Each structure stands twice: as C-alpha cells, then as structure tokens.
Amino acid sequence: MFKFITSKPLWVNILAALGIVLIVLFLFFFSLSWITSHGKNEKVPNIIGQNIDAATKLLKEKGFSVEVQDSVFVDSAARLSVIKQSPEADANVKAGRTVYLTVNRAFAPEVEMPSLLGFSIKSAQLMLATLNLKMGDTTYRPDIARNAVLEQLYNGAIIKPGTKIPMGSSISFVLGSGLGSTDLMVPDMYGLTVEEALGRLTTMNVNRGSIISKGGAISDTLKAYVIDQEPKAFAEPTPGQKIPNKIRPGALMDLFISSTPPAPRTVDTTKQNTTQTP
C-alpha cells in the first residue's frame, strides 16, 4: 500500500489528500443538520400542575428529554405535581432538548413549633409565615395583654415549643381581649388549696399572677394552702370597716402559699368583718 502511494508523483498524492479532506468535510456538514436537528423545532407543552409521571410521558412523546432539577414544598399544590419548568411553556426549542422540572414533594417536611406566647397577633402571624405554617382560628379571653398570644393550639390542643409538625399545618391562637367591663367581687381564697383557688379564678376569667411561698419549701404547689392574696377580698378604710374589693376579668391575682393550712377564720357577714381566732 505504501509502495502504491510512493510510486505516484507528489502532486498526485497532494490532490488525492485534498480530495479526501473535501469529501470528509462535505459529509460532516451534510450530516450536521441531522446531528443537531437543525430546523426541527418543537413547542414545549405546558405541564405546570400535572403529575410528574404524566408530565414526563407527555414530554417524551414529543421527543424531549426530562430531568427533575429540584423539589420544593408548596402546600397549595398537589403532591408530586410540577411546580416549575424550564424552558417555559410554548417556547420553541430544538427537538430532543432536555426540559428541567421542579416538583412538589410527596410529603411535607417538618418544622419545630416555636413559642409564640406573649407575641402580638401580627408578630405571631409573620413568624408562622417564615416557617410555612398557616394561621388558624383565633379566640379571645379576658387578659390585660390585649391581642397578645395566650395559648397556641394545633388540632385543638396546646402545642409545646419544639414539637415537630408538618409544614402547611394550621396553628390557632387564644388571644387576650383586654380587661373585661364587668366588675366582679374579689374572691376570698384564704384556706383554699392552690388547685381550688386556680379553679375559682378560671371560672371568673381572672388570671393567675405570681405564686409565692411563705412557708418554706413546698413539694407539691397545687396541694399547698393559700394564706394571703393580692388583691385582697376586702379593703379596710377604717379599723373594723371592710368593703369588698372589685376585680375585672383578665386582671391578675397573686397568691401567697404555705405547706400547712392557715388558722381558721370566722366571718361576720352582717358587718363584712373578718377576725382570726387562735
């Protein structure tokens, strides 16, 4: 073979080489349009909102390749539906191009519930939005902290901070409505257990203030006894003259407690006078 080439004049070999190069270039450019699908465009269909399986099947039927590029969570969209596509719908692109998809997750990721107690309703709502949680129902009860969060609820029960719940969950709030407009008689808690006193405050929509021990260490606060309170049940403008104090729903009452019951009292209801007997 080499003898055949070397036996020819140099100019013949040069012409032959040029001819081969021209043939290769012609074949390359002739097939380039087929390789690159030149002139063959397809309109990208709109697959937003479709299930990923149905969307993939449709795109492949039209000659596109499909690649899931990312997954996100959108509570308002169907699970495993297409959230975003690139190229966008109705774009004219070359046949065989890859269409990149962003898909909604099958399961909602979980987030930790923060403590929103004491937050204003607007601040609590903004915090929920940053965690992709929704605002549920709001109810009110008398409390001096008007429009502040008193309780946070999930599925009707109090939810503790740090509890993990799915994104998109609804959180309901109990808010303070301010002090009530009705004046109530301050209840006399003397001698009651803390548990009994708190129950009475709850029925009156009066809030618990501080609980202060005045009798040494207490192992069970709820079983301890009330020995004093603030505000007191009666005012005494002059010795022996006792006038019932008033309190409004939403106000606070402090309780002073002891592990042992206080000495019994006798009450003269006709004079609103209270004396302590040894």
User: What is the tens place of the pLDDT at every residue in 233-251?
Assistant: 999 888 878 899 999 999 9
**Could you give phi then psi for residue 169, rounded to 5 degrees?**
-70, 155
Indicate if 134 and 194 belong to the same structural domain.
no
Identify whether 114 is preceded by a cis peptide bond (ω within 30 of 0): no
What is the residue type of 36?
Answer: T
- Residue ending a domain, choose from 154, 176, 198: 176
pLDDT digits (tens, 9 = 90+) for 53-93: 999 999 999 889 999 999 998 888 999 999 999 999 888 88
- If asked whether residues 96 and 143 sit together in one domain, one would say no
Arithmetic mean of pLDDT, 108-125: 95
* The two structure tokens encoding residue 162: 């740090």
**Statement to judge: residues 90 and 127 lie in one domain:** no
Both tokens assigned to 88:
């966008």
Same domain for 78 and 142, yes or no, is no
78, 22: one domain: no
202 pLDDT above the threshold of 80: yes
Domain boundary among 87, 104, 121: 104
The pLDDT-based confidence of 182 (bands split at 50, 70, 90) is confident
User: Does residue 121 share a domain with residue 172?
Assistant: yes
- In this predicted structure, the answer to whether residue 149 has a pLDDT above a threshold of 70 is yes
Domain termination site, one of 176, 198, 223:
176
CATH of the domain at 94: 3.30.10.20
Best-predicted range by mean pLDDT among 10-19, 21-30, 131-140?
Answer: 131-140
The answer on 31 and 64 residing in a single domain is no
CA distance 161 to 151: 11
Q: How many domains are contained in the chain? A: 4
Q: Which domain holds residue 62?
A: 41-104
| Same-domain check for residues 50 and 88 | yes
Q: Are residues 207 and 159 in the same domain?
A: no
How many whole angstroms separate alpha carbon 22 and alpha carbon 25? Answer: 5
Residue with token string 């601040």: 123
